[in-house]
Amino acid sequence: MSSSSTILILLLSSLLVANNASPKPEEYQTYIIHMDGSQKPTSFSTHESWHRSTLKSLSSSPSDSDDKLLYSYNHVMHGFSARLTPSQLSELEKSPAHRATYQESFGRLLTTHTTKFLGLKPKTGIWPASSYGKDVIIGIIDTGIWPECESFTDKGMSPVPDRWKGKCENGTAFSPTACNRKLIGARSFSKGLLAAGKNISKENDFESARDHQSHGTHTASTAAGSPVLGASHFGYARGTAKGVAPSARIAMYKVIWATSTPEATASDVLAGMDQAIADGVDIISLSLALPQTSYFYDAIAIASLSAIEKGIVVICAAGNKGGPNTTFNGAPWITTVGAGTVDRSFIATLSLGNGLTMNGTSYYPASAYITNAPLFYGAGNLSKSICSNSTLDPEEVAGKIVLCDNSTSIDILGQMKEVQRAGGYAGIFLADSINLDPQQYNTPSQFAIPSLVVQTSFGTSLKEYVRENDANVKSMRFVITSLGTSPAPQVAYFSSRGPDPINPGILKPDILAPGMDILAAIVPNKQYIKVGNYELVTDYALASGTSMATPHVSGVAALLKAVHHDWSPAAIRSAMMTTAYTLDNTGTVLKDQLTGMPATPLDFGAGHINPNKAMDPGLIYDLGFQDYVEFLCGLGYSKKQMRAVLRRNQWSCGQNSTDLNYPSFVTMFPRGSSTATAKNFSRVLTNVGDDTAVYRAVLVVPTGMSVKVEPRTLTFTRKYQTQGFVVSVEIEKDASEIQYGYLRWIDQHDHIVSSPIVAISV
């Protein structure tokens, strides 16, 4: 197996550290230097020549200063990344043009029926209205792309628009002719990684935009893949695989490389985003994250704000850490995406000698049909009964189907390996959730022996039967895809949850999208799984992660952009959020897959994305660059910090308020307060419906919270008219830890503009 087994999403790494971190004496390190572009002397024709000259002028500068410059940035910020010694750095920091320094940091990845699950239809709704996202360009910052995948054929697509400035770079196993009208750009950025002393694996990667790890091929085909008939994961999930915006175009910016593990550096991520902005993408999709840190140290946050200022929508994964207070990429100008399950499951059926039958989950990649095999269970010995490492005796289990008890001390994948090691014929595993390890984004690739996972609740009857003499399995049948699974969607167990650790005052994630068992293109002709002596390959595979949820939202954003060319990034996000749904296919609140309990807006944000509704939201909560400036002023940032985030010397704080015109509401109250806590929010709605409309406020309020809206009726007489209102939220004393309700504006044309109201104790 390649390193792709660790691809899962996200991140590790140490961070963008403040410029007061003390590096080792006189060693070269990579720094990202943010400069004041307006101070470029006119004698330099380009910023890059100025950057080179600045580097050359440093006293202890080596003669080969050209080699020390990694990238010159012009869009995400004015500045560059370079290899510098500490004394060179301090010399540089004395320059009046110096704005901020970031130390290099490392990020990691956060992986077709889903279009149907999203309600996308060929004859009605947003697909035909947007011509399937025609001519919208999605820039994907990822592990590269496999251009020959059928998902990237350009049949029927119009010529690439003149506004496009991107290109298809030549490189190892990647010819510029690999691009076409679907894949219109492909570039790679590795200078930061190489400067950090890392080597790109020759066996597990290509030194070009060509993908080896499959992650980028998967995300790109999910966002905008062309239709491919008869795609499947070894027979599971068979159908036509299609991106969410199948007529949109793709540009790949490869910044994640296989070293010993998949890795990305902040300087390369910045370079990819910088180039994407310069090339003219409409949407930037990032299924990766750098460590959480304040916005003024966060390369993705700074680069995203620059993109937003140019009208580019930035969609990022929320992370795969599960648990509260774990979201990544939570800056309020970014659309932050959590992962949900879909109503599809992959099952195997088990039928026992005593007539008992049960269904379990399986991804075993062959239509195996096993009949009449003896069953083994290590009763009476705890480590054997849970199939711990090296406990099964090959003589006892050879040729048998091994039952492994549920356990918190060994995960199913470990149990599977043990059954395989000991020569078991097949395995039955008791567990309530198959995915115990959030880092296992490609769990399906681990099903190397016929295995099925059944609910712990079946354990008693199974174990009782095994105690009988001659217990046997009458049959096991694999490769069954079951649709209509309920409840669905659920919040995937691994999806990172709010409150946002950097700013709990903005609800994150913003929205949920399909991120569990997503079928999309991968790198073909490469062993995906080894079953017995056979190396199996596949060109479509299932993967899970907020990495997989993100390109769904990027695809929907592309559809919205195609319908509403003039909408701002905030308007597009607002439309997706206020039309999201919070009830599952059983009619109850979306559940948390981890606990089976109802989830909250801290888990799913505004709810699950609903593309057809998002096309016609009625009203939007709009935001522009100046609103974010005022928000940052309200955080009390210093001038230097403001310059770093805003990339300029002058700005106006205006209202200086952290109360953004956001489509969700968060209020914080002191835990166990003996008095009530109140907060007022001011919001402005813009009518994007064509009709005159009268909206009235409908509130869903839990006990312990009271909400007033003033005025309660908003009347719009023309398109783009705006109306303001104030929401007053009061939390009673002794309120419980977290409470949430909803404000919904409803008009006579069936528009429902819904926002969660969340109260968090601190």
Ligand X SMILES: *[C@@H]1O[C@H](CO)[C@@H](O)[C@H](O)[C@H]1NC(C)=O
Using CB under 6 A as the binding rule, whether residue 229 contacts ligand X is answered as: no
Residues of span 259-298 touching ligand X by CB under 6 A:
292
How near is the Cβ of 345 to ligand X at its closest, in Å? Answer: 8
Locate tokens 């509130």: which residue?
699
Using CB under 6 A as the binding rule, whether residue 527 contacts ligand X is answered as: no
Kindly tell me which residue out of 61, 180, 294, 325 binds ligand X, with binding defined by CB under 6 A: 325
Give the range of 19-27, 49-57, 168-176, 559-567 binding ligand X by CB under 6 A.
Answer: 168-176
C-beta separation of 283 from 138 below 8 A: yes
For residue 215, indicate whether it is catalytic: yes
Question: Closer CB to ligand X, residue 29 or residue 359?
Answer: 359
Question: Closer CB to ligand X, residue 175 or residue 748?
Answer: 175
Residues 655, 649: Cα–Cα separation, whole Å:
19
The 3-state DSSP class for residue 92 equals: helix
Kindly tell me which residue out of 119, 524, 634, 689 binds ligand X, with binding defined by CB under 6 A: 634
Using CB under 6 A as the binding rule, whether residue 482 contacts ligand X is answered as: yes
Long-range contacts of 377-386 (CB under 8 A, 24+ apart): 377/402, 377/403, 377/405, 377/462, 377/463, 377/466, 379/463, 379/466, 379/467, 386/410, 386/415
Residues 324, 728: Cα–Cα separation, whole Å:
26
Q: What share of the chain is helix, strand, coil (3-state, %, to 5)?
A: 25, 30, 45
Kindly tell me which residue out of 374, 501, 524, 702 binds ligand X, with binding defined by CB under 6 A: 501
For residue 554, indicate whether it is catalytic: no
Kindly tell me which residue out of 388, 445, 446, 503 binds ligand X, with binding defined by CB under 6 A: 388
Using CB under 6 A as the binding rule, whether residue 130 contacts ligand X is answered as: no
Using CB under 6 A as the binding rule, whether residue 677 contacts ligand X is answered as: no
For residue 574, indicate whether it is catalytic: no
Nearest to 131 by CA among 674, 585, 558: 558
How near is the Cβ of 488 to ligand X at its closest, in Å? Answer: 14
Give the range of 150-158, 196-204, 446-454, 750-758 binding ligand X by CB under 6 A.
Answer: 196-204
Kindly tell me which residue out of 159, 355, 587, 636 binds ligand X, with binding defined by CB under 6 A: 636
Kindly tell me which residue out of 289, 386, 412, 599 binds ligand X, with binding defined by CB under 6 A: 386
How near is the Cβ of 662 to ligand X at its closest, in Å? Answer: 18
How near is the Cβ of 98 to ligand X at its closest, in Å? Answer: 22
DSSP per-residue letters across 485-539: -SS-SEE-TTS--SS-SS-TTS-SS-EEEE-SSEEEE---SS--EEETTEEE--S
The 3-state DSSP class for residue 684 equals: strand
Give the range of 133-141, 265-273, 377-385, 687-695 binding ligand X by CB under 6 A.
Answer: 377-385
Catalytic one among 13, 226, 547, 554? 547
Question: Count residues contacting ligand X (CB under 6 A)?
Answer: 41
Q: C-alpha angle 631/634/635, rounded to 5°?
A: 95
Locate tokens 């595993």: which residue?
429
Residues 23, 602: Cα–Cα separation, whole Å:
38
Kindly tell me which residue out of 3, 131, 391, 715 binds ligand X, with binding defined by CB under 6 A: 391
Residue type, position 603, single letter: D
Residues 449, 471: Cα–Cα separation, whole Å:
21
Give the range of 48-56, 147-155, 192-200, 327-335 binding ligand X by CB under 6 A.
Answer: 192-200
Question: Closer CB to ligand X, residue 18 or residue 589?
Answer: 18
Using CB under 6 A as the binding rule, whether residue 360 contacts ligand X is answered as: no
Question: Closer CB to ligand X, residue 95 or residue 641?
Answer: 641
Using CB under 6 A as the binding rule, whether residue 357 contacts ligand X is answered as: yes
Residues 239, 364: Cα–Cα separation, whole Å:
18
Question: Closer CB to ligand X, residue 50 or residue 631?
Answer: 631
Locate tokens 């307060």: which residue?
673
The Cβ of residue 153 has, within 10 Å, a number of other Cβ atoms equal to: 18
Using CB under 6 A as the binding rule, whether residue 472 contacts ligand X is answered as: no
How near is the Cβ of 445 to ligand X at its closest, in Å? Answer: 16
Kindly tell me which residue out of 653, 670, 682, 713 binds ligand X, with binding defined by CB under 6 A: 653
Nearest to 573 by CA among 552, 598, 556: 556
- C-alpha distance from residue 651 to each of 36, 301, 570, 577, 648 (Å): 14, 18, 20, 29, 8
**Catalytic positions, please?**
142, 215, 547
Q: Which residues bind ligand X (CB under 6 A)?
A: 170-172, 197-199, 292, 325, 347, 349, 357-359, 381, 383-384, 386, 388-389, 391, 393, 405-408, 414, 456, 480, 482, 501, 633-634, 636, 653, 656, 678-680, 710, 726, 728
